[in-house]
Structure 1
Amino acid sequence: MLMLTDLERVLPRLREHRIAGGRGIDWVSIESDLGTRLPSDFIELAEAYPRFSLDDFLSVHIPEPGGERFFTAGVRETLDELADLRDSGMSHEHVPYPEPGGLFPWGDSAEGDTFYWRTTGGHPDAWTILVSGHNDDWCAYQGTVTEYLAGLLAGTVSPDGLPPDFPREAPTLDFD
């Protein structure tokens, strides 16, 4: 498993914004509200950095300390949207978490793509990535969020279902 330092290596500007000592997110509250622990690489990323976007396109949903309930409300809203797609027969048989093997959102794009964890494999560190493209593409990646992001930026992960010009050679980095 790649670590946060691998993502920082391919996106060195990220390191300038790292918060020493962590951000103090109430993970117990989040886990209690959502009924699951989140993957450890995501927790590490969220403790080091606030919510950010790459190339004004891909936004990583990171909770704010003190705003954990807003984070969980956003997760629930996205899960409700996926349930509506499923109920309309438009989710390609993907189901929302907490259903077995359900999808759990971690990001979105400016063009309506949604980035999910596929909650199969038991422990959250075994969850993999599924991208729901706005053109009804569903593309899988067998790895973690940090592996996916680092691979996209390094060019070792294909941006399947995403615009062909993403990410740019020198991607922009914006914090909310």
Structure 2
Amino acid sequence: MSPLDRLTELCPPPAARRQPVDWARVESALGTPLPGDYKQLTATYDPGCFAGYLWVYDPRHTSVHVNLVGSASDRIRQQMESDQARGIYPAPVDAALLLPCGATDNGEHLFWATAPQGRPDAWTIVVNEARGPRWFHFPGSLTEFLVAVLGGETAVPQFPADLLKGGTGFEPSDPDQWYPPMPTVTPPLDSAAIRAWGRANGFTVPLRGRIPSAVWRAWEKATGDEALPDGGPGRPC
């Protein structure tokens, strides 16, 4: 039985209302390919919550707090990098490798540890503590993590001891909180040109990975070009 089959056994998905995801657009905004298991997960489940506690970030959700490419994700990554630089609650991997992929009702965040780069199906999961120094590392995919936690095989120290007491069901978000389908694929942006523009205009821009949101905003303002529509999924700022 595959991890996804086991997850659907633990948490049956609701009646199909699923909308397609423009993965080319999303991956262009993030600057990285995404794991295959995550794409299968979003093809199986609508945006929503597992066990009344665990939210998987979804590019179809209107809330920046649970959108995979929302501005909240940018702020979380910046905070983790700032904490690491100051020696506060250091992550078990380089903070620059952390890509938020979920959250809990208590304020913990789930991250992909995006190493090795370019091999997303080999990424693992790390979880921070909402208001403390603890981190938890799970050596598997996001779907495998959900199965291990919801199946009672893995106890994450930061999670409530009675997490499974109320059951392991899945509750979808209100459809009004989803973005409408995007039937067309937007060609990938020329990120190399944007990086070069940023460096030429005094910005510090990494050679690879996600382009800082400040650079996107400045580039859009200077060129009059919107990388992605205002408020739409995949907007990198």
Q: TM-score range by the shorter chain?
A: 0.7 to 0.9
- Percent same amino acid at aligned positions? 25
Q: Distance in 2 between matches of 1:71 and 1:128?
A: 17
Residues 51-130 of structure 1 aligned to structure 2 (within 5 Å): 51-64=47-60, 71-73=68-70, 74-93=72-91, 94-96=93-95, 99=96, 102-122=97-117, 123-130=119-126
Distance 1:172 1:47, change over 3 A: closer
2:143 pairs with 1:146? yes
Distance 1:91 1:79, change over 3 A: same
* 1:67 Cα deviation from its structure 2 partner: 9.2
* 1:34 Cα deviation from its structure 2 partner: 0.9
Larger relative contact order, structure 1 or 2 (CA cutoff 8 Å, min sep 6): 2
Q: Which runs of 5+ in 1 are unaligned?
A: none
Q: Which has the higher strand share?
A: 1
Asked if the contact 2:3–2:147 (Cα under 8 Å) also holds between the matched residues in 1, the reply is no
Q: Distance in 2 between matches of 1:57 and 1:29?
A: 29
Q: Which has the larger radius of gyration?
A: 2
Aligned residue for 1:112, secondary structure, equals coil
Distance 1:56 1:77, change over 3 A: same
Q: Distance in 2 between matches of 1:168 and 1:61?
A: 24
Asked if the contact 1:50–1:63 (Cα under 8 Å) also holds between the matched residues in 2, the reply is no
* 1:37 Cα deviation from its structure 2 partner: 0.8
Deviations 1:85-112 (A, max 9, x none): 223321415444xx3xx11111111111
Deviations 1:95-133 (A, max 9, x none): 44xx3xx11111111111010111113400000010101
Q: Which runs of 5+ in 2 are unaligned?
A: 174-237
Distance 1:174 1:129, change over 3 A: same
2:127 pairs with 1:131? yes
Asked if the contact 1:130–1:138 (Cα under 8 Å) also holds between the matched residues in 2, the reply is yes
Query: What is the root-mean-square deviation of aligned Cα atoms in Å?
Result: 2.5
Aligned to 2:234: none
